[in-house]
Amino acid sequence: VFQYAERYLLVWEPFECTLHEALALSCRIIESEVAQILWPVFRCLQFLRGQSRELASLTPRDILFTEEVEIKIGDVRPSDRPHDTDIE
């Protein structure tokens, strides 16, 4: 927090954390913010599926948000499932 004249400015800097750490933060997260956090994760999973990749497991600790606002998902391996199956 910085003070400028009689105004206080909150400066936010991105930081690297896992989804587990993000959800454990003590700040209040509203529903739309949860959607903003999880939507890129779903898009990443959709991309991996299109590349015939799958996850051994998916826990909040496997998902990393970087300072560059990128998502990294760990423990990805080639899929043994047929590529043309769709999740409904």
pLDDT by position in tens, the chain (length 88): 566 677 766 656 667 777 777 777 666 777 887 788 788 888 888 888 888 887 777 777 788 877 776 778 877 777 776 555 445 4
User: Looking at residue 88, what is its pLDDT?
Assistant: 46
Domains of the chain as residue ranges with CATH: 14-78 (1.10.510.10)
Q: How far apart are CA 64 and CA 74, in angstroms?
A: 8
Residues in contact with 37: Cβ distance below 8 Å, sequence separation at least 6, in sequence order: 19, 22, 29, 65
